[in-house]
Every structure is written in C-alpha cells, then in structure tokens.
Structure 1
Amino acid sequence: MDRRLFLLLLVAGCADTSTEFKPMTGSPFPTPQPPPPRPDIPSAPPGPASSGDASFDEWRGQFRNRALAAGLAPALLDRELAGLTPNPRVISLDSAQPEFSKPVGDYIKGTVSDDRIARGQRYRANLPFWGGVEQRFGVPRDILIAVWAMESGFGAIQGDFDVIRCMASLAFHGRRRAFAEGELIAALKIIESGEADRGRLKGSWAGAMGQTQFLPSNYLATAVDGDGDGRRDIWGSSNDALASAANLLAKGGWTRGEGWAREVIAPPGFDYSLTEGPRETPDWWAGQGLKPADGRGWSGADAAAKAMLAAPAGADGPIFLLLPNHFAIRKYNNSTAYALGIGLLADRFAGGGPLARAWPLEIPLGIGDRIAAQTALARLGFDPGAPDGVVGVNTRTALRAWQKARGITADGYLSMDMVRRLNVEVAALPPAG
C-alpha cells in the first residue's frame, strides 16, 4: 500500500469523536473499566437528567429517595420529575410579604358583594343536588356556595399552574419544605392512582386545585364522588366539588344543626380584653352584657354551644360570638377574615340582612408599621413573638395586655392610632444598653 494512503487512513481512524468505547472483535487490549467510586464523593442518584440548577438537582435527588420510601414507583418518579425545573414566579409569590395589610372591613366588603349574593342565591335555588349533599354531610348549602364563590368564583377561576412544578418549587425553596414535599407526594399518588393525569392537576400557585381549591392531600383524604359516575372530579363536576367541600368541613368538625356565629352588641364599658379568650355559652355572655344584634333569641343547639368573642375591627366595628362551626370553616383556611367572609356571605344567600354595625373606615398598615409595633411591644415588656409583620394571635394578646395596662380599650386591634402611641412611648425610653 502506498505510504501516503496508509498515513491518511490512520489519521482518519483516530478522528472518531464518539464518547462510547467500542472494542474491536478479537482485540488484544482489555476493555477499559470505570474507576471505582470514591467513598468521599456521593454517586449521582438515579433519575432524570440535570435541570441546569445544581441545587435543585440535589434537592430532587433527595426527594426522589423520600418518595420511593413513601411507596411511589421509580418509573412514575422518573417520568414526572424529568425536565422539572423550579418556577421562579411561585418562589417569588411564596416569599412576598404583602406591603400593606388589608383591613378586615375592606376584605369583607369585597367578599359580600351584591353581585356575588345574587349569583349565589340563583345557585341556591337551581342546583338539583343540594338535598342529597346536605342530608349526607350536614353542611348547609349556603356555606358550600360561599366556599365555591370565594375559592373559584363559582368554578370559573381554578388556576392554571402545574401543581407538580408548584410543589417542587415550594419544596426546593425550603420555607415550607416538609409541607410542600408532602403535597408533592400526594399529587404524585393521585397520578399513580389513575384518578387524574398531570395535565388535569392544575391550580393556584400554592397548589390548590379544582372548583373548591383542594390541596392534593385534601383530595386524597376527603374528595368524594357526588354525582355517582365513579370519579372524584373536583375540576369538572360541581356536584363532586361541593360534596367534597362538605366532606372536608364535616371532617373538620362541622356540627349539623348549629350556626356559625352571631353578631352581638356590647354595653358601654364592656371589657374587650375578653376577646379571643374564654369559650362560654350564650347565656354566660349575656351575663357580661352581650345581646344578639338582630334581637332574636338563640336556637336550642346554639344556646348549648360554647362561643368565643371576636372583635376583628376593634371595639369600633361589629363584634361576634363565634360558634364551633366558625372554627370548622377555618380548617379550610385558617383565617378569621376568611371564615367571617364565608359565614356572612352564606347568611346573605339565606336571605339575611347586612350587619347591624358598619365596618369602620380603616387605614391599611404597612409592613414597617406592623413590625415597628411588634418591636415596640417587645421593648415595653409585652412579648408579641418575632417581629415578622404578621398580626396574629400573639401580637393581639400582647397588644391587649399593653392596652389594659395603659387604660385603653383592650380590644387587641392594631390601628394606626395604636402604632403611633406605641412609637411615642418607645421613643421616650432611655437608649438600649
């Protein structure tokens, strides 16, 4: 063979860029073997390829192991986690602290609107399955319609976020990792069961799905087949969605035949430090001077129930005796304002009138105002917990104690006036240290 031709063929043979080793048949050279794993470097976990984010891939590999331990199939995990990346919008929404806190009165006014009342009353009269749902679960249709209205605009606004990606993003973000991983496993179990595929699992950025905005774990535990077609379709069947909401409330402690709350009127000089305190019967509260705002008596069931006093807008706004069913509503969403909105909207669907006492005009508090008030309470010796800008029960308890010590109506309501008073008092203290 011509020497130049031989060299050309030799060079061409060396130019193969394949990364796979292909031993020649009968080659005298042994097939190369990969080096043994080093004990100080963890091996790459099985599963989907890299997302391009090393931190996310590390979390995903760890989650896959936890999901396997929870009984999910490897093939399901590899399929559903393949190509998964964190959603920056979900992480941003989860991290965002609202700059201004919406006053409860404004929230209720937006909730109990004339248009929503009219639409709810039409559904109250026209949907044929109410009798069966009420008889089965004991939850009144008016409460269920209010949930339906609040959660999805009567089924019209269900959200279009991919629930799997949302929960993976929240878990990776880490603020609520245990919660989000639990919901992600629940969502994967829904897919594995065949009840709904990935394309069906759409919802809010926080992972709530369907007409009544169930989290995946709620779906697994409490969703029911209301229309008898063999499926639990909370997305497409209003019967299934509302029966499922009734089941959730019933399991959350809803008591058949009892109300949820009553607006009451307090006498002059009433001790508002009793708000969010004792739970006593309406007769006991009558002994403190409270009377139903509508002038009517109590039903037998409500008269025997233990009620807690709430002044959500302070002594200048409407006040309520909250019956146990109020707290069952809060199993759906643990917010006093939400539960009040559901109950007051339900009352209007049933033909009730507006509140006897109007909500006061309030100035929204910025997060800086809320944190300043919490910091001031702590410096003055009334511990509200961490100064996080969230006015929860600890902050209200500390505020009531400070108000009572200063001879102010102790309603625990953080108004702009209270913020100013706290700031003035702290400014008069000697410098710390």
Structure 2
Amino acid sequence: MARRSFDRRTFVALLLAGCADPTPNLVPQVTPLPQTPTPQQPQPVAPPTESGSMSFDAWSRQFYERAVRAGLPADLLTREMAGLVPDPRVITLDSRQPEFAKPFGDYIKGVISDDRIAIGQRKRVELAPITADIEAKYGVPGDVVLGIWAVETAFGGTMGSFDVIRSMATLAADGRRRQWAEDQLMAALRIIGQGEFPRSQLYGSWAGAMGQTQFIPTTFLSTAVDEDGDGKRDIWGSREDALASAANLLSKGGWVRGQGWAREVTVPDGFDYALTEGPRETPDWWARLGVVRADGLPWTTADQTAKCMLIAPTGAQGPKFLLLPNHFVIRKYNNATTYALGVGLLADRFGGMGPLVQAWPYETALSTADRIASQKALAALGFDPGQPDGVIGVNTRAALRAWQKSRGLIADGYLSMQMVGLLKAEVPWVSPTPPPADPVPQAPTPGPAPQARR
C-alpha cells in the first residue's frame, strides 16, 4: 500500500513539472505611457437660415455639410449661403407645363424669322475673322455657332437675370431634380471660390444657363475657353469666348469636320414611313429607296460616307430630312429635335441657302389631355408608348407608327388631331378619364357574360 501511494505522489509531481514553462520570460514588461488624446478638429457648422421655409432651411443645412465634405471652403459656403431664400418664380417655371403643345412647324418658323436671318447675316460678315479662327481650331462651321448664339440668347441680347446660386438652391431644395441642381450649385460655388467670377456675374436663366451661349455651371467648368486671351473665360462679356466655348462643346461632342448636319429630302409615293427614326444608312442606301435631296444637288464626298437617319417631324405632309451625325452633336447642346433643326436650318440661311422646298403644313395644337389620352389608348391597345406624360417623344412615336401600320394607315408616327380622334374612338374610356379602379358592385344581370376589353 505504501509503495502504491508513493508512486501516485511521484506521478502527480512529475505531471505538474511537465506542464510548467521551462523557458524563462526574458522580455521585460513595460507599462504603457498614458496617451495624450488627439484634439478633435472642429466641424464646420452650417449657419442658421431663416428663409421662412422649414424644408428649404433643412436642405440648406444638409447641403452645407455635403459641400464641405466635397471640398468646398466653409467660409465660401457661409458667405454665399447667408440670407439665401428660395425663388418662387423658379418653382413656377419648373413646374409649368403648357396646356397646348406648340406645333413643330410653328416653332421652326418662329426660330427662322426674317429678322433673325437678316441679323445673322450681318453678324456673319462682322465676325468673319473670329468665326474663321474658331472653325479652324474646333472644326465647327461659324454659321452653326452663330445659329446657337441666335437661338440661345438672340445674339447675346437675352441672357437672363436670375441669380444662379439662388435658382440652383431653389431647385435642389424642391427635390424634383435635387442631384442635378446640387451638382450645378457646387460648380457655381467653385467658379466663385477659384476666383473666376464673383456671384454678381453668375446670372442667367431660371434653370442655371449662363452667358451668351447659355452654359450651365458644370459645362462652364469643363468646356468654356478664353478665346480672346485676356485671362478670363468670359461667356457674358466676350463674344469670342462665348462663341468659341460653344464650338468647343460641339467639338468635344464629336463634331465631324467637313460634314453637314442634315439635308431636306423627298420620298416617293407609297414610301414606307415606318422607316423614319429607324435605320442609319448612307445617302446611297436611302437613294435606292427613292430618298433624294430636295434641292436636286449631289451629296458632298464627306456626306456620302455619313450614316443618316430619316425623319418626318410633321408627318407625311411635311418636310423630310436625312439627319447626319452632326445633327445629334447639336442635340448635346439641347436634346430636342426642334432645337437642333432650328439651329441647323438657321445656320443654312445665314450661309445663303434658300427656304425649304416643302413648306411646313398647318397643324392644330394638341392639349395636354389629348396627348395623355392618346398615350393611354396606345398602351391599352398593346403598343407601349412609355409613361403617359403628355410628351410625344421617340417611344410614343414608335408606338404610334406600329399602331398606324397595324390599321393600314400611313405609319409616319405623327400625332395629329385625326389620329387622336381615331385612338379615342378605339378606346373611349381614355377621354376624359379612365374607368374607376374599383367599380361599385352591381346586381348581376341575366344574359351572356361581358367580353373582355381589348
């Protein structure tokens, strides 16, 4: 028994000895020194605003913080945002939708007035040295630049008088176009902060377009140029800077040197108008379908290689055009077919070309209700026009062409009063209002089951 007890004690002692760390700890234990806390940098605080609008003031404080994080100086923001209040005129103009859409031809005829042509031809002679230098540098014809100048501000006569800072703040706080408006506001503040122009110089349209050629602030920062060499990109006071900046915008947008922008054409009887706003092909391809220049002249060598799109903006009864790629570059200035056609046709007249061979037809202005009703009818019939918003854009015209073709009509995609009437006749409930979503239950009536609406 004694031997058994000794062995057990020996075993436990050896076991404990084996668990011990045989290596001494040679690294001295150092007590860490107390750290001095890093002082917190004071965060800029937005100045209090008392605009009378709680939502505007809340947006103002939030924007101030976002702008500081984006690198704008706090003192700049404090100075320029002090006393800032929304401009009710901007909200009214932004939300205004004309009850009747101005007919396409009426818009073009308004742009290409005899007075404007005469002024442009005088400016063409007066500014020939300037526009020649601009064309040599940027590749954009002087007549096109003069056309933009004429359409945008009547040759610099109507630049707008809205405070761009206040206008952009108003639009941003309103929220409908917040991100875009905040981008423009930050760009305008950068123009001020980097010393290019004071706020008193930054005036323009209610939507922030500035100067003789109406640049929004972000476009000014990226594209405006100092053409007259005085060290300032003065699109307000310098015609050279304004016109060259417009040319630079088109050049950056892909303007093709030596090519035209569009040509009026004629089409043969029985032409398939479903091809409008469709394929982009060379003039020779279109000529095989009977589409030729309305003036009877040949295409230039440069234009022969261009891929062109056919449009009939007022339907089969109005002028038709083959649009060259440069037409779509003009639309980077303002993405509207009316705008680009107006600028281009005006430029042609400045250069001595005559009026169109095919006159614009008489058109009836369509009400917003008629346009929306037509879009709803197309959707109900299975031809998707997109959101029924009253804007007759490319999707609505494509849907209209498909419906016209399915009904044996000329598929020109032109929404005339006649087309509105035919669509309403097929889908009567679109005018004046659609049927209620949850009709009141009626007592069953004996007879055959009603047919589903098509």
Question: Which 10-residue stretch deviates more, 405-414 or 50-59?
Answer: 50-59
The TM-score normalised by the length of structure 1 is 0.88
Structure 1 letter corresponding to 2:115:
D
Q: Which residue does the alignment assign to 1:81?
A: 81
**Paired AA for residue 310 in structure 2:** L
Alpha-carbon distance in 1 for matches of 2:343, 2:44: 50
What corresponds to 2:105 in structure 1? 105
Gaps of 5+ in 1: 1-42
Structure 1 CA distance, aligned partners of 2:144 and 2:44? 51
Tell me the distance in 2 between the aligned counterparts of 1:410 and 1:272: 5
- The one-character-per-residue Cα deviations of 1:29-77 (angstroms, maximum 9, x if unpaired) are xxxxxxxxxxxxxx99532433221111111111112212221111111
CA distance in 2, matches of 1:329, 1:48: 44
* Cross-structure match for 1:10: none
Q: Percent identity?
A: 65
Is the 2:211–2:242 contact (alpha carbons within 8 Å) kept by the matching residues of 1? yes
- Using the TM superposition, give the Cα deviation of residue 251 of structure 1 relative to its aligned residue in structure 2, in angstroms: 0.7
Deviation string 1:264-323 (CA, Å, 9 cap, x unpaired) is 000000010011111111111111110100001111111001001111111110000000
SS at match of 2:264: strand
Task: Provide the rounded CA distance (Å) in 2 between the counterparts of 1:96 and 1:144.
Answer: 30
Residue aligning to 2:55: 55
Aligned residue pairs total: 391
* Matched residue SS, 1:277: coil
| Cα pair 1:48 1:78 within 8 Å, conserved | no
Deviations 1:141-169 (A, max 9, x none): 10011111111110011000000010111
Does 1:90 find its partner at 2:87? no
Aligned partner of residue 264 in structure 1, secondary structure:
strand
**1:314-345: CA deviation from partner (whole Å, max 9, x where unpaired):** 11100000000000000000000000000000
Cα distance in 1 for partners of 2:429, 2:219 equals 51
Q: Show the counterpart of 2:390.
A: 389
Q: Distance in 1 between matches of 2:142 and 2:263?
A: 18
Q: Name the SS of the counterpart of 1:218 in structure 2.
A: helix
Matches of 1:266 and 1:82, distance apart in 2: 61
Aligned counterparts of 2:69 and 2:256: Cα–Cα separation in 1: 38
The secondary structure found in structure 2 opposite 1:129 is helix
Whole-angstrom CA distance in 1 between matches of 2:123 and 2:321: 28
Give the whole-Å Cα distance in 2 for the aligned partners of 1:48 and 1:269: 69
Partner of 2:448: none
Counterpart check, 1:227 vs 2:242: no
Describe the SS at the equivalent of 1:263: strand
Q: Corresponding residue for 1:172?
A: 173
2:341 matched to which residue of 1? 340
Q: Which residue of 1 aligns with 2:123?
A: 123
Letter of the 2:378 counterpart:
L
Larger radius of gyration: 2
Answer yes or no: is the 8 Å Cα contact 1:263–1:355 preserved in 2: yes
Query: Which residue of structure 1 lines up, in the alignment, with residue 310 of structure 2?
Result: 309
Separation in 1 of the partners of 2:124 and 2:374?
A: 44
Tell me which amino acid in the other structure corresponds to 1:312: P
Give the equivalent residue in structure 1 for 2:114.
114
CA distance in 1, matches of 2:48, 2:215: 29
- Give me the whole-angstrom Cα distance separating, in 2, the residues matched to 1:44 and 1:427: 61
The amino acid of 1:331's aligned partner reads K
- Letter in structure 2 aligned against 1:173: D
TM-score, normalisation: structure 2: 0.84
1:161-211 CA distances to partner (integer Å, 9 max, x unpaired)?
Answer: 000010111111111111111111111110011111100000001110000
RMSD of aligned C-alpha atoms? 1.6
- 1:399 aligned to 2:403? no
8 Å CA contact retained: 1:164, 1:184 = yes
- Residue identity in the other structure for 1:55: S
Q: Return the alpha-carbon distance in structure 2 between the equivalents of residues 122 and 187 of structure 1.
A: 34
Corresponding letter in the other structure for 1:97:
Q
CA contact (8 A) 2:101 2:365 kept: yes
How far, CA to CA, are the matches of 1:425 and 1:197 in structure 2? Answer: 59
Deviation at 1:374, TM superposition (A): 0.4
Question: What do the CA deviations read for 1:369-424 (whole angstroms, capped 9, x no partner)?
Answer: 00000011011111111111111111111101100111111111111110000000
Give matches, 1:361-380, under 5 Å. 361-380=362-381
What is the one-letter code of the residue matched to 2:241? D
Structure-2 separation of matches of 1:403 and 1:373: 13
